[in-house]
């Protein structure tokens, strides 16, 4: 493991991405609540210029380091990237088990969004029917709300699909390194 400042004007080249070899991996630690970069011990950096990442020669070494950081400091969130850095989604995201269920891509969040979408789809048509049956379509508001509920449900389902596609791409990228 090698700590590396993200930007050092005195170093040549100054950017960290230019120093990383194609076979290496980069880990970033951040606060699980705010997303602010933190050191491996969970403390925030004193200034943005001192922000540091960690470079590893193997994915297993990076995972072990990040798992140890998260085990010692539950509020830390670690992301591991390949040599390209933050160009793509992280290859591996390590958080404490207590925080894992609240991640956007977690199975629990996908189920929750699906259940909400189903409830919205079930609530929309009765509002449209009520508007048509009671006022002959002259009330407008129930129809507007019904259509809005259905569109919101479709957005949630589309979001789930995007999360699943991103996870599939991440898994494919991860297979290259394992």
Report percent pLDDT > 70 for the chain. Answer: 100
What pLDDT does residue 83 have?
87
Q: How do residues 11-33 score in pLDDT, each as one tens digit?
A: 888 888 888 888 899 999 999 88
What pLDDT does residue 20 have?
87
**Helices 107-135 and 141-175, packing angle to 10 deg:** 160
Domain edges within the chain? 2-99, 107-175
Question: CA 15, CA 8: separation in Å to the nearest integer?
Answer: 7
C-alpha gyration radius of the chain: 23
If you average pLDDT over residues 163-177, what whole number do you get? 90
What pLDDT does residue 112 have?
94
Residue 151's pLDDT band (cuts 50, 70, 90): very high
What pLDDT does residue 87 have?
86
What pLDDT does residue 163 have?
93
Question: CA 109, CA 103: separation in Å to the nearest integer?
Answer: 7
Say whether 137 sits in a helix, a strand or coil: coil
What pLDDT does residue 8 have?
81
What pLDDT does residue 48 have?
83
Output the pTM of the full model: 0.78
Say whether 92 sits in a helix, a strand or coil: strand
- 137: pLDDT strictly greater than 80: no
What pLDDT does residue 28 have?
93
- 101: pLDDT strictly greater than 80: no
What pLDDT does residue 124 have?
96
Say whether 131 sits in a helix, a strand or coil: helix
What pLDDT does residue 38 have?
92
In angstroms, the Cα distances linking 112 to 24, 54, 87, 107, 156 are: 37, 35, 29, 9, 10
- DSSP H or E stretch at residue 31: strand 25-31
Which residues 6+ apart lie within 8 Å of 16 measured at CB?
Answer: 4, 5, 6, 7, 26, 53, 85
């Amino acid at each position: 493991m090698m700590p590396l400042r993200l930007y050092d004007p005195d170093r040549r080249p100054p950017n960290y991405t230019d120093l990383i070899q194609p076979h290496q991996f980069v880990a970033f630690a951040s606060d699980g609540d705010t997303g602010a970069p933190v050191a491996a011990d969970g403390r925030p950096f004193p200034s943005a210029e001192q922000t540091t990442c960690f470079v590893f020669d193997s994915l297993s070494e990076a995972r072990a380091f990040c798992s140890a950081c998260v085990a010692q400091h539950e509020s830390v969130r670690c992301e591991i990237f390949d040599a390209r850095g933050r160009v793509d989604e992280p290859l591996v995201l390590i958080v404490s088990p207590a925080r894992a269920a609240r991640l956007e891509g977690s199975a629990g969040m996908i189920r929750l969004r699906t259940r909400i979408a189903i409830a919205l789809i079930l609530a929309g048509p009765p509002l449209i029917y009520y508007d048509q049956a009671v006022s002959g379509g002259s009330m407008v508001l129930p129809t507007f709300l019904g259509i809005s509920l259905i569109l919101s449900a479709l957005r949630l389902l589309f979001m789930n699909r995007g999360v699943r596609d991103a996870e599939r791409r991440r898994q494919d990228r991860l297979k290259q390194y394992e």
